[in-house]
Structure 1
Amino acid sequence: MYLLFSLTAVAQSAKGGKKISSDLFGLFFEDINYSADGGLYAELVQNRSFEYNPTERKDWSPYSYWEYLANGFSYGRISVETSSPINPNNPHYMVLDVEHIGKEAKFTGLSGVGLKNTGFEGMVVKANDKYNFSMFVRQLSKEPISFNISLQTPKGKVLSESKISTSSNDWTKYTANLIPTQSNDTASLVILATSEGKFAIDVVSLFPEKTFKNRPNGMRADLAQLLADMKPSFIRFPGGCLAHGDGLDNMYRWENTIGPIEQRKEQRNIWGYHQTTGLGYFEYFQFCEDIGAKALPVLPAAVSCQNSGGTWRVGGTGQKALPLDEMQNYIQEVLDLIEWANGPVTSTWGAKRAAAGHPTSFNLQYVGIGNEDKITPEFEDRFKMIFDAVKAKHPEITVVGTVGPGQDGDDFTKGWKLANNQKIPVVDEHYYTSPEWFISNQNRYDAYTRNATQVYVGEYASWGNKMRNAIAEAAYMTSLERNGDVVRMASYAPLLAKKNFTQWKIDMIFFDNTVISPTPNYYVQKMFSANKGDYYFGKVITKDEKDNSLAASCVQDSKTGDVILKMVNYGSAIKPMKINLGKFGPDVYRDAEAEQTVLAGDPDTENTFEKTQNIVPTSSTIKISNTFDYSAPAMSLTVIRIKTKK
């Protein structure tokens, strides 16, 4: 429930409040469940650079998701080659030798030899919208090659087409605009050579012009807007397990993900598919800036995931460590990131950021080192080397460490010992467990040491997307606000999941190419994230303290003066709470009107692709006073925002 009303009142913060983190609620994005390619990243072509590989999936190859075409009794040959790529980071490309273009009178279509790509289970195109096509071609024969580029329905109806002719024996980028005459959810891109000759082709791309904020190489607009609506304080990226990777060669190296897309290094995704890195560090930072969130990039601690090679089956024995003689170069890579994000345009890496179109600093504040790593001596040695180097050269950067993959256990204990010894500013705790655990552990952080290492709850969820899961998480989130002087940040995980492509079945937002299904968990996260404060006040909301199904918190946003109440009822019946706003001024809120939004429902209800609005917040207008009673509906979250005018 979200409650909003306007008053004339004394703003800033009331006396007696406890200062808490203003960065408390944010997002964690990892390329899992096809969250990036085929998801948030708006590229419509799948396997655009012919880099798919059987090491990612046994039935994959550079030819995957491409269909060879020989229309109208034409014929030719096709091969994948690596001898003269656009860039060493992008080694594979396709060669087509068009030997004959058919001219049979009985064939009524367009004759030619070429390729068709169906994208990620079809390309969604909208009538009269513009789609930006590009490809790199190297002419291998003497005469220019003529191409017909089109968008087609599954039955071959042409929705839009354009013509291109090659002009160089060097790799050259060719572009065209396609504007469909009709909408279609399962369109294909067809590239047809209509003249004889031989050519190489690579990095075939099709983007909607209407990306989020109309950014080139940008985000799928509807998904991105759903995230922007949450008003997160930060975004953690790119992982997760994706960050430290499946073996040392699979670690996510940020430098490989910036610059022109044809120069970026694609690689295997630890979650069993492919990552183009088209959604790379520049795009992550730009998205953070676009939605007003701080960037929290996570870099490997020079060790790979302990589950590398599938060793999670035998206890997670797969961690590999970068050789010590390579550590100075790796440390420099970490320092280079900070220069790239914040350095002046006259610096080496600041100049690269400026060349990408962002001359001003990204104002990076946080850097994560490691992700739920096994706390081995190898990890500790390398973490200390990186941490000390960052601290020495960039004391303005807050380093976020890690304390293993669980809420307790050996790695947790060792990680916290390391944090205390090294005085790490913030460490990242993770836990995925039952709703009952979240209800029973609302006092987890009450006894944590203050004025010491703070906590980032970087990944958490209650193993479900039903209403009961979301409300259990809401109850726990009130305790994070209450302990916001030691809990610096928190983010639910995972964030996105594409239908039929999930590796992790408990996620915040489910989607396919046309439908988005936010979970009840999403609405809980949004209601907290969009209603953060930076001061916490106790004893404003009175409830039965013996009933752990009830939870509540009161915060104030000192920038606006807004007072925000959150009330949670995990029980099966309506339960009373009392609110006293006296500490914010006598009679300040007498007979004030408020807008009330309620998230409530049956504990086993969830949203689906067929019924995306089974659980959604609802709004109404009520009146409140300086003191008032509230009846919290069963299985509900209530957020009351008291908006003051200075």
Structure 2
Amino acid sequence: MIDFRKSTLAVIAGIGLMLSAAAQPKKISPDLFGLFFEDINYAADGGLYAELVQNRSFEYSPTDRQEWGPFSFWEYITPGFSYGSIQVETNHPVNPNNPHYIVLNVEHVGDAGIGIKNPGFDGMTVKAGDTYTLSFLARQLTGAPISLSVSLQTPKGKILAEQSLSTSSSDWKKYTASLTPSAASDSASLVILVTSTGKLALDVISLFPEKTFKRRPNGLRADLAQALAEIKPKFIRFPGGCLVHGDGVGNMYKWKNTIGPIEQRIEQKNIWGYHQTAGLGYYEYFQFCEDIGAKPLPVLPAAVSCQNSGGTWRIGSTGQKAIPMDDMQNYIQDVLDLIEWANGPATSVWGAKRAAAGHAAPFNLEYIGIGNEDKITPAFEERFKMIYSAVKAKYPRITIVGTVGPFPDGEDFSKGWAFANNLSVPVVDEHYYKEPEWFMGHLDRYDAYDRSKSKVYLGEYASWGNTLKNALAEAAYMTSLERNGDVVHMASYAPLLAKKNHTQWKPDMIFFDNNNICLTPNYYVQKMFSTHQGDVYIHRIVSYNAKDTTLAASCVQDNKTGDVILKLVNTGTQARGMKINLANFKSIQPTAVQTILTGASDAQNTLENPQAIAPVESVIKVSRKIEYTAPAMSLTVIRIKTRS
């Protein structure tokens, strides 16, 4: 449990030469820098979630998009003069949560059979020699076994990999096959052909690369997951964002709908205008956090929907809907059940469900978020208080993160902070997207925050762009987060991922298509801070002309290693001098590792040129007093050892 009751040292009142004279290191949050994931911009399905088949369970519908339906992204094919029919049925589903499936009725088999073809998300990218695991559920509707051919094909029909199967049951049964392409393709399709007469039901048709991140089944796209792992985040907040409280009460994200076998999960409309399969669900989120050493921070609705529900995306919009009070006890129980699912023993009701999924040990959940940038209404306040009181009573060691609206000031911000302080909420979640100049002009934002009240989680922030100028403004601001790491408990840039041709929101940290990823300058800034976190902030180490508003700096120390870590930011177009005084450290090793991110202010990385801007690492000599010239438009991190 995090103890927020301990007093902290005096607040630093400025930067550079204006720093306080306090000389003692100040303890800062051990969980300062992390990640925020939301299924926006096709970040999950078609993105981080490695599933290659789109609309695998035939659950797409006009509620997702007006033009979509169960057959979306599927093509009915009858090669070789075969004929028959295809239809969607719901009378005998695999599971009530997954009501739609297709029925193929093969009346005549010509040269090839009849079947279906799926191009995935903008084409399937497959690599020669890699193995892809196909699985599907099938049920014979006529007596004899039915033969099938499954293959990966190019747009011109060239077969890259092929296997034959035969059904064996009139009940739903899972079938699998391994497909190893003989050649690479970035526009392959999955083809399933029935090659004998009969009637066959099919559902949950899935294709995964064997090489998912850490080779997890139902796993994550390896290159995207690895890029996130390399940030070494202290936490991951998931699954959103506005996705959490949804487009109306019926569209709220319900964690219980996202666990268990994928055919039992409930799919639904995504608030960002597409579909979510829930294949990347709570089990996968928690597993990924564990795999990369990040603490999970699940965020649940505060029993109210997004105030922008119904398409009212404007300031002051009033689309917020609330769960009826008669249903609140059931909703509160869902919140409590999540904590038991994450932390309870395998013998508990919900801990047993976690164990059945393959994780007998608890996930050691510490944080839970309630609400997401909600409008602070009486309905919100009443329901949040009920949830907060119930969690606090049953699980006092869980740290609850509240919310104070979508902006850094204004009515909801003021009301949210007053409400949080009245309840003594341990941490509150602030959000803001602003121009780079705003960040540079507000480096003192947290200097005057009351250390005796709620701590801050800066859950979403970005500077409206992916140029180096944007990234360096964020870097300068992050030095102020370190300086105020006693009151700013956590921070995460947002949004995280964006797929080419499917981006609803900019800026984003990582852009990608099916083949490549683009790490933005913003990504590198986050990585440089996150991989060089400290647990104490040390004052009066870096000095410079206090009138130069283009400069910012911080000094932290990692007590586990003894390393002293300097972050030096120059957002100006001219090189600037800084003085570094390490005289108070007992031992300074003669060499240090220096990492510099620099370039033109408007430089940015693209999928076509992903390395236009990237950090450069070198080994430098250091002494107790350093005259450092910060290059124009740069972030420099210097890591200095104090132990041999």
TM-score w.r.t. the length of structure 1 is 0.95
Q: Which residue matches 1:617?
A: 615
8 A Cα contact 1:15 1:583, kept in partner? no
Give 2:630's aligned amino acid.
A
Q: Which residue matches 2:572?
A: 571
Q: Which residue matches 2:12?
A: none
* Matched ranges for 1:288-303 at <5 A: 288-303=289-304
Q: Which residue matches 1:426?
A: 427
CA distance in 2, matches of 1:543, 1:315: 43
Tell me, what secondary structure is at the counterpart of 2:256?
A: helix
Q: Which residue matches 1:270?
A: 271
8 A Cα contact 1:556 1:562, kept in partner? yes
Give 2:131's aligned amino acid.
K
CA distance in 2, matches of 1:404, 1:136: 44
CA distance in 1, matches of 2:582, 2:220: 43
Q: Which residue matches 1:331?
A: 332
1:20 pairs with 2:58? no
Instruction: Give a deviation string over 1:453-491, Cα, whole Å, max 9, x none.
Output: 100000000000001000000000000000000000000
CA distance in 1, matches of 2:70, 2:305: 27
Equivalent in 64, 70, 75 of residue 78 of structure 2: 70
Q: Which residue matches 2:9?
A: none
The range that moved more, 378-387 or 134-143, is: 134-143
- Offset at 1:183? 1.2
1:606 pairs with 2:607? no
Give 2:604's aligned amino acid.
E
Q: Which residue matches 1:364?
A: 365
Q: Which residue matches 2:13?
A: none
In the alignment, structure 2 segments of 5+ residues that lack a partner are: 1-21
- Offset at 1:452? 2.0
- Offset at 1:163? 1.0
Instruction: Give a deviation string over 1:520-575, Cα, whole Å, max 9, x none.
Output: 00000000001000100010011111222110000011111111100000111000
* Matched ranges for 1:69-468 at <5 A: 69-103=77-111, 111-313=112-314, 315-468=316-469
Give 1:537's aligned amino acid.
I
- Cα distance 1:630–1:265, how it changes in 2: closer, same or farther (>3 A)? same
Aligned residues: 623
Q: Which residue matches 1:9?
A: none
8 A Cα contact 2:25 2:536, kept in partner? yes
Structure number with greater CO (CA < 8 Å, separation at least 6) is: 1
CA distance in 1, matches of 2:347, 2:485: 39
1:596 pairs with 2:594? yes
8 A Cα contact 2:23 2:540, kept in partner? no
1:643 pairs with 2:644? no
- Offset at 1:15? 7.8
Q: Which residue matches 2:6?
A: none
CA distance in 2, matches of 1:644, 1:363: 33
CA distance in 2, matches of 1:345, 1:315: 45
Q: Which residue matches 2:504?
A: 503
CA distance in 1, matches of 2:585, 2:117: 65
CA distance in 2, matches of 1:468, 1:309: 36
8 A Cα contact 1:564 1:640, kept in partner? yes
CA distance in 1, matches of 2:584, 2:271: 52
In the alignment, structure 1 segments of 5+ residues that lack a partner are: 1-13, 104-110
Instruction: Give a deviation string over 1:562-601, Cα, whole Å, max 9, x none.
Output: 111000001110000011111212xx226x1223221001
Give 1:624's aligned amino acid.
V
The range that moved more, 555-564 or 259-268, is: 555-564
RMSD: 1.1
CA distance in 1, matches of 2:598, 2:315: 42
Instruction: Give a deviation string over 1:54-104, Cα, whole Å, max 9, x none.
Output: 12112111101001011110011111111111111111111111111015x
Give 1:595's aligned amino acid.
V
Query: 4+ runs of 1 displaced by more than 2 Å?
Result: 643-646
Q: Which residue matches 2:46?
A: 38
- Offset at 1:313? 4.3
- Offset at 1:392? 0.3
Give 1:148's aligned amino acid.
S
CA distance in 2, matches of 1:366, 1:537: 28
8 A Cα contact 2:591 2:640, kept in partner? no
Identity of aligned residues (%): 70
Equivalent in 622, 630, 633 of residue 628 of structure 2: 630
Tell me, what secondary structure is at the counterpart of 1:141?
A: coil
Q: Which residue matches 1:561?
A: 562
CA distance in 1, matches of 2:38, 2:620: 40
Q: Which residue matches 1:524?
A: 525
Give 1:99's aligned amino acid.
E
8 A Cα contact 1:160 1:178, kept in partner? yes
8 A Cα contact 2:593 2:640, kept in partner? no
CA distance in 1, matches of 2:641, 2:510: 29
- Offset at 1:314? 7.5
- Offset at 1:645? 3.6
Instruction: Give a deviation string over 1:283-323, Cα, whole Å, max 9, x none.
Output: 00000000000000000000000000001248411100000
8 A Cα contact 1:373 1:402, kept in partner? yes
8 A Cα contact 1:22 1:533, kept in partner? yes
- Offset at 1:451? 2.8
Give 1:81's aligned amino acid.
E
TM-score w.r.t. the length of structure 2 is 0.96
Tell me, what secondary structure is at the counterpart of 1:446?
A: coil
CA distance in 1, matches of 2:346, 2:619: 52
Tell me, what secondary structure is at the counterpart of 1:582?
A: coil
8 A Cα contact 2:588 2:641, kept in partner? no
8 A Cα contact 1:114 1:192, kept in partner? yes
Tell me, what secondary structure is at the counterpart of 1:382?
A: helix
Equivalent in 51, 59, 72 of residue 67 of structure 2: 59
Give 2:397's aligned amino acid.
E
Instruction: Give a deviation string over 1:115-140, Cα, whole Å, max 9, x none.
Output: 00000011111111111100001111
